[in-house]
Structure 1
Amino acid sequence: MPPEGTDDEGEDELGLPLPPDDRLWRHPSELGAARRAGPAPTGAAAAQARGPRRSSSWLVGAVAGLTGAVVTLGAVLAFGGLDRGGVEQTTVLERVAVPPTATLPVSIGAPEGGAEALAAIVARIGPAVARVSVTRTTADEDGSPGTTTTTGSAVVFRDDGYLLTSADLVAHSVAVAVVVGDGALRPGRVVGVDPVTDVAVLKVDGDGLPTAVLGSVEDLDVGQPAVIIGSPASPGDDAPVTSGIVSALGRTVRPVDTQGTARHDLIQTDAPLDLAATGGALVDRRGAVVGITTDPPDVAAGDGLSFATPVDTALEIAEDIIGTGSAHHAWLGIEGADVEAQTADDLELTGGARVAAVTEGSPADEAGLAPGDVITSVDAVGVTSMADLVVELRDHEPGDTVFVAYVRDGRPGFCIARLTERASA
């Protein structure tokens, strides 16, 4: 645990969350017409539906001027659902934490208030963490068909029945059942999965579901307390809850013995992950969800560590999935790794992404990138690692043109690449 005195500036007292009646827990904002049913848009229409990722529409301007509160936002506009010609009006609610709302002591196990603050956070977020039962088909040794069931968690982020969870948890499922805070068992539908970020979106019928307060990874620092909240195994049981600290940000985890996709830009904590909490909530000291827990298979991560996809990333992917039916990622077309420390020193660089291979016919190939190049920036944004490169490309859309700076044989160079869409895994 971090030493005393490392608390956020200006927070010398560690209090409990205010009672709901004393806070702006529910403030309906923007109204929009109900989304009309129809096929997911494709091509140019899909790109228009997604919109530019650098100007995410999740945090609509209602937060201005509010301090120490939880703001409830209308999400219909965020998903391109405003239809002025419609006749049915719908309010879709999200809850976004606005700092400062500190609730959890720096040392979670502190004797004064720590346990009570932790209980208050669980009481706040727990009702929005759902239990997910996933059924898949299997084949016995003799080839006869069978089924297997896996249990995990999901986080309600819109009160009209949309949940965030782990793509690994629900991929290749034939049936999904969801139990939300009221204990009712609901059939779930997988709206879409993104194996690149391990984000999936589920949908259940119902309105007015308990929704989680959403935070941001931008508010996290290494050493701050963190709590993982999963779903109870059955109604009335205690939810699996573990606590620890944020031990790293921007982590990359890679499969050890498989050809699976590396996961980048993860939040790392030393809070143990109960398998039933996979797809659940990583919560910061204010009681806001900052990540969706992930359990990468066969990763070289070390014992006692757990990981979460930042909620910022999860929301962007969810917006894409709900708006277009799938997640879309810009693709450069290289394989690479962090530049070796000695090479970086020799080139007088602070870091970079070393190109190991270039896919024939890819944007990188057509732009002239070659194995051995060390990419140092994209559109003037510094790149000090392969993870930096991946995260920067996430901020672009297929079809964007980017300026790539690199070092080749000790000499600086640049190229212009037109990104295409990454093929589905």
Structure 2
Amino acid sequence: MRLTPGRLVAGAAALALLSGITGGLLGAAASGSGGDGRPAAAAATAGGGCDVTAVAGVVFPSLVTINVRRGAVSGLGSGSVLDQNGNILTNDHVIAPGVGGTVTVDFARGASEVPATLVGRDPATDLAVVRVDPAAATLTPIAIGDSSALVVGQPVVAAGSPLGLNSTITAGVVSALNRWIDVGQGEEPAALVNAVQTDAAVNQGNSGGPLVDCSGRQVGVNSAGAQPPEGGGGSIGLNFAIPIDFARSVAQQIIETGRATHPVIGVMSVSVTDEIAKATGLPRGALVEQVVPGFGAARGGLRPGDVITQVGGTAVNGTDQMLVAIRAHRPGDVVDVRYQRGGATRTAQVPVSEP
């Protein structure tokens, strides 16, 4: 398979799809999730259905189309409003063609062609933040959900501007969790960490837009869609989103410092979901699949099969939250990592480093 970002830009490169275990090697910075005072759409349980009309009503005020231009090169993508300061979350590959040029934002329910500035990019995680003047538009921050609580079969809704058709909604389910997707282009490595797989249609232009639950809360950032080797374009029902727990933490660091760092402890892991926990008796946490030699986890004695449940005093119930907890620390710090091995709880002192 080849994987292409859901964007509309000239010369989009073919990308490689690597399905399988999530990459727990990257880290992520601490963040808070935002609330809202808006009426929520009807909730749904796994296997049920969303009231998509209600979801659209909740999401559209927070949805934007992002237009970039640099000389003869132009492109577009989608994004979601994060806060009343005008910060907007999107994919890095949406912004990349316009770096050094102009960026404008069209609000799905509001002003058009609003000038935006680049706050910061993180090509390694394919995330970026742009900002508009708060006085230039009515800002409705999107409600933030909990991507660590997602389950396979749960209904979700994708919002964005496929092929430039703004205010578009598609619906589907969470098809799989814990995907590691290589979306690097040229000499710039990039990966979707612990990606959410969905069959909600994602096409060129959807990238950077929100994947939301049935309450209209963002649980992911739509980022890429797979296509068969023969091409043909259009969604084939294999699409991927960056979990919002991780994306929000990267965005927060970009907003605060203009860039994102990637402290690591050197493990590859998968999330122990409620479903896995019930089936195996393991605790919720990050199940270590691989320990990278020479990094902190190896030096602290962690092994494959351990389940990390706490990092630096912060409880984690999956890989996303482990990454966020790691990024609360700086390279050179030594953190207490609590984990379970063979039913016994242990604690290791683990150095944090840069990849």
Instruction: Sort the TM-score into its range (normalised by shorter chain).
Output: 0.5 to 0.7
Aligned partner letter, 1:191 = V
Is 1:102 aligned to 2:38, yes or no?
no
Return closer, same or farther for 1:149/1:293 CA change in 2, 3 Å cut-off: same
8 Å CA contact 2:160, 2:210 repeated in 1: yes
SS at match of 1:124: helix
Task: Provide the identity percentage.
Answer: 29
Q: Is the 8 A contact 2:63 2:167 kept in 1?
A: no
Corresponding residue to 1:224 among 154, 160, 171: 154
- C-alpha deviation, 1:354, in angstroms: 2.4
How far off its partner does 1:405 sit? 8.8
**Which residue of structure 2 aligns with residue 376 of structure 1?**
306
Offset at 1:238?
A: 5.4
Aligned to 2:60: 126
> Contact between 2:126 and 2:191, CA under 8 Å: does it hold in 1?
no
CA spacing shift, 1:377–1:392, aligned 2, 3 Å: same
Evaluate the alpha carbon distance shift between residue 157 and residue 292 of structure 1 in structure 2; reply closer, same or farther with a 3 A threshold: same
Give, in angstroms, the shift of residue 256 of structure 1.
9.4
TM-score normalised to structure 2 length? 0.66
Match of 1:163 among 77, 88, 108: 88
1:240 matched to which residue of 2?
168
User: Equivalent of 2:143, from 197, 201, 214?
Assistant: 214
Q: Which runs of 4+ in 1 moved over 6 A?
A: 256-259, 296-300
Q: For residue 317 of structure 1, report the CA deviation from its aligned partner.
A: 1.8
Shift of the 298–174 alpha-carbon distance from structure 1 to 2, 3 Å rule, reads farther
Give the secondary-structure state (helix, strand or coil) at the position aligned to 1:191.
strand
Shift, 1:241, TM fit: 2.0
Q: Verify the 8 A CA contact 1:270 1:305 in the aligned structure 2.
A: yes
How far apart are the structure 2 equivalents of 1:335 and 1:179? 40
Q: Does structure 1 retain, via aligned residues, the 8 Å contact 2:222–2:242?
A: yes
What SS is found at the alignment partner of 1:321? helix
Question: Which amino acid in 1 is paired with 2:288?
Answer: G
Match of 2:289 in 1: 353
TM-superposed CA distance for 1:210, in Å, is: 3.4
User: Corresponding residue for 2:24?
Assistant: none
Structure 1 residue 294, shift from structure 2 partner: 1.0
Distance 1:221 1:316, change over 3 A: same
Q: Is the 8 A contact 1:129 1:231 kept in 2?
A: no
Deviation at 1:374, TM superposition (A): 3.4
- Call closer, same or farther: CA 1:393–1:375 in 2, change over 3 Å: farther
In structure 2, the residue matched to 1:86 is none
- 1:198 CA drift (Å): 2.5
SS in structure 2 at match of 1:251: strand
Taking the aligned partners of 1:405 and 1:186, their CA distance within structure 2 comes to: 47
Paired amino acid for 1:102: A
Q: Is the 8 A contact 2:288 2:308 kept in 1?
A: no
Read off the aligned partner of 1:122 and give its amino acid letter: A
Letter in 2 for 1:162: N
Match of 1:192 among 117, 120, 145: 120
Residue 336 (structure 1) shift: 5.7
The answer to whether the 8 A contact 2:267-2:297 is kept is no
CA apart distance, 1:369: 7.2
Report the alpha carbon displacement of residue 170 of structure 1 after superposing the two structures with TM: 1.2
**Among 195, 210, 224, the residue aligned to 1:281:** 210
Q: Contact 2:158 / 2:210 at 8 angstroms: preserved in 1? A: yes
Q: 1:179 maps to what in 2?
A: 106
2:290 counterpart letter in structure 1:
R
- Provide the TM-score with structure 1 as the length reference: 0.56
1:202 is matched with 130
Task: Give the superposition deviation at 1:353.
Answer: 2.6
Letter matched to residue 171 of structure 2: S
Gapped regions of structure 1 (runs ≥ 5) = 1-51, 64-69, 72-94, 109-113, 137-145, 339-348, 382-387, 407-412
1:43 — aligned with what? none
The structure whose RCO (Cα within 8 Å, separation 6+) is larger is: 2
Deviation at 1:57, TM superposition (A): 3.9
Whether the 8 Å contact between 2:158 and 2:169 is mirrored in structure 1 is: yes
Aligned residues: CA RMSD: 4.2
Give the residue type in structure 2 aligned to 1:204. V
Preserved CA contact (<8 Å) 1:132 1:177: yes
Instruction: Could you tell me which runs of 5 or more consecutive residues in structure 2 were left unpaired when the two chains were aligned.
Output: 1-28, 230-234, 271-280, 312-317, 340-345
Shift in CA distance, 206/389, structure 1 to aligned 2, threshold 3 Å: closer
1:402 paired to 2:332:
no
CA contact (8 A) 2:226 2:239 kept: no
Amino acid in structure 2 at the alignment position of 1:240: T
Q: 1:211 to 1:166 in 2, by over 3 A?
A: same
Code of the residue aligned with 1:221 in structure 2: it is V
Alignment of 1:86-101 (within 5 A): none
Partners of 1:251 and 1:404 in 2: how far apart? 24
